A and B are shown apart, each in its own frame.
Chain A
Amino acid sequence: MILDVHNLTMKFDNRTIFQDLDFQLQEGSMTALLGPNGAGKTTLIRILLGMLAPTAGSFQFDEHVKLGYVPQFRNIDPEYPLSIRSFIELNGPLFKSKQFKQEVDHELEEMNLTSIQHTRMGEASGGQKQRAYLAQALLDKPNMIVLDEATASLDPSAKEELMALIQHLNKKHGMTVLFVTHDVPLAKKYMKEYLYLDHGTVQAGKIADFQEVYS
C-alpha cells in the first residue's frame, strides 16, 4: 500500500466538502480521481500534498514515497518569455551542474520535448506545455505522480500523447499515478482504478466496473 486515507474530513467554514473518506492506493496503481465540479477533487489533492490541513482524519503515505505534482492551472500567457528548457530548470539549483543538465536532457527526451526545448513556453501548444509541466515535476524523481486535470484543455491528439507518456511512466518506471479528471472515456481507456468523489463521499474500484452516474 502506498497511501492509506482514514476518516478524512474537510470543511470550509460550515460547508462540508467531504466527510470520513476512507480509501487506499496500491503501489504501481493507475487511479483516476473522478467526480463532478466542486466535489472537492482539488481540495483532496491539496490535502494529500500537504498544502492544506484537513479538518479531521488522517492519511499516511508509504515511507518510501516521493511525490511529484502537476497542478491544474499555471500562469503562462502568450508573452511568457522562458524557453521550455529554462522553465523546466526552474525546479533546480541556481548554478546547474553537468549532472543536473543531463537529468534535464533526459526528461526532455522522455517527454518528447528535445527538439523544441528552445521554444518559448508562451508560444508552445497546450500539449507541449503540459508535457513541460510534467517534465518539471519529474525532476523531483518521484515514484508517485499526481496530475490535476492535465488533459482538460487539450485537443484529442495531444490528450492521447500525454496519456501515452503517463502510461509509459507507469509501465517502465513503475510509477504510481493519481490522475484527476472529468474525462471518463479517457480514464477508462488509460487508467486501471478509480476513485469517485461526490456528495462528500468516495467510492473506489476497478475502472472497468465504473458506471458513469454523472454526465
Chain B
Amino acid sequence: MLQYAFMRYAFYASTFIAITCGVVGVYVVARQFSFLAHTLSEIGFAGAAFAAFAGIPSLWGMILFTLLGSIGVGELTLHTDQKESSISAISALFIGLGVLFLSISNSNARYATSILFGSIIGVDLQDVYQLIILSLIVIVLLILVARQLNYDSFDHIGAASHHLKTGLVSLVFLIALAMSVSIGSQIVGSLLVFILLTLPASTARYLGKSIWSMIIWSVAFALIGVWAGLYLAYVTNWPVTFFISIIEVAIYLLAYGLHQLKRN
C-alpha cells in the first residue's frame, strides 16, 4: 500500500501526530485536562469552519482558534473555581461560531465531515512538512519548560512551594496543547483528536512509574493506534478514525482490567 503517495504521506503525518499527541497526552492526563482537550477539539472544528469561510488553509484556522480558545480557558480557569463551567461556556461559544461559519461559507457537507472525522486522502507533501515542523515546535516548547512542567504537572503544590513560575508553565503548555489538537485533527478529525491526547497516556499511567516510561508507553500506544488504523482503513476502506478509536479503547480497557486484577 506504500506505493501510493497519499498513503505514504498519511503514514509520515500520523507518525509525527502520534509522537506529539503521545507526549503531550501524558501532561494532559496528569494535569486533569482531558475535558479541556475535548473542548479544544470542538474549538478546532470552529477554526476549520472559519478557515473555510475566510478562504485560508484549515490548519491555520484551527491553530488560530485553538490558541485563542486555550488561552481564554486558561485565563478563565485561573480566576474561577468553576473550571468545568467556564470550559463549557467557551466551548458553546466556539461551536456556535463554527456552525455559523460553516453555514455562511457555503461549504459542502463533505468538507464538514472531513473536518469532524478526519481524512487520510487529503494530506499532501506540503501538509506533511507543515505537520512535522509544527510537531517539532510543540516538542521544543515542552523541552524548554520540561523540568518545571514535570514538577508542576505531577506535584503542583511542591512546585508552587519552590516558587516555580507555574502560571508561565501553564500558559506554555496550553499553547502546546492547542497546537497538538490542530495537528492531530488533520488525520483523525477534530471530533476524535482528544482520543490520541488522552487514551494512550491514560493507558501509560497503568504501566509507567516514571515520567519517561509513561511518555514511552504513551507514544508507543499512539503509534500502534495510528499505524494499525491506517493499515486497516486501507484494507477495509472503513474510516481510519474508527480503527484508531477502537484500538486505543481496546488497549486502554485491557490495561485497566489487568490493573484491577493485579490490585485485587
Residues of A within 8 A of B (CB): 49-51, 69, 71, 73-75, 79, 81-83, 85-87, 90-91, 93-94, 118, 120, 133, 136, 140
B160–chain A nearest beta-carbon distance, Å: 7
Contacts A82-B210, A82-B211 given; does A71 touch B205 at CB 8 Å: no
Residues of A within 8 A of B154 (CB): 82, 87, 90
Contacts A81-B214, A82-B210 given; does A91 touch B158 at CB 8 Å: yes
> Contact at B161–A51, with CB atoms within 8 Å?
yes
Residues of B within 8 A of A69 (CB): 161
> Contact at B158–A90, with CB atoms within 8 Å?
yes
Residues of A within 8 A of B155 (CB): 74-75, 87, 90, 136
Majority DSSP secondary structure for residues of B touching A:
helix
> Contact at B156–A75, with CB atoms within 8 Å?
yes
Partner of A94 from the list B146, B159, B160 (CB cut-off 8 Å) is B146
Residues in B158-172 with C-beta less than 8 Å from chain A:
158-163
> Contact at A120–B209, with CB atoms within 8 Å?
yes
A154 CA / B151 CA spacing, docked (Å):
25
Contacts A79-B205, A90-B151, A91-B151 given; does A74 touch B161 at CB 8 Å: no
A91 CA / B158 CA spacing, docked (Å):
8
A133 CA / B155 CA spacing, docked (Å):
10
> Contact at B209–A81, with CB atoms within 8 Å?
yes
Q: Which 8 A-B pairs have the closest CB atoms?
A: A83-B209, A86-B210, A81-B205, A94-B147, A90-B151, A71-B157, A71-B161, A69-B161
Partner of B150 from the list A74, A83, A90, A133 (CB cut-off 8 Å) is A90
Residues of B within 8 A of A (CB): 146-147, 150-151, 154-163, 205-206, 208-211, 214
Residues of B within 8 A of A93 (CB): 147
> Contact at A51–B163, with CB atoms within 8 Å?
yes
Residues of A within 8 A of B146 (CB): 94
**Chain B residue at minimum C-beta to C-beta distance from A49:** B161
A49 CA / B157 CA spacing, docked (Å):
14
Residues of A within 8 A of B214 (CB): 81
Q: List 20 A-B contacts (CB under 8 A).
A: A49-B161, A51-B161, A51-B163, A71-B157, A71-B158, A71-B161, A75-B155, A81-B208, A82-B210, A82-B211, A83-B209, A86-B211, A87-B155, A90-B154, A94-B146, A94-B147, A118-B209, A120-B209, A136-B155, A136-B158
Q: Indicate the member of A79, A81, A83 with the most B CB atoms within 10 Å.
A: A81
Residues of A within 8 A of B147 (CB): 93-94
> Contact at B158–A73, with CB atoms within 8 Å?
no
A130 CA / B160 CA spacing, docked (Å):
18
Contacts A81-B214, A90-B150 given; does A74 touch B158 at CB 8 Å: yes
**Chain B residue at minimum C-beta to C-beta distance from A133:** B158
A17 CA / B159 CA spacing, docked (Å):
26
A115–chain B nearest beta-carbon distance, Å: 15
**Chain B residue at minimum C-beta to C-beta distance from A46:** B161
Q: Indicate the member of B159, B163, B209, B214 with the most A CB atoms within 10 Å.
A: B209
Residues of A within 8 A of B206 (CB): 81
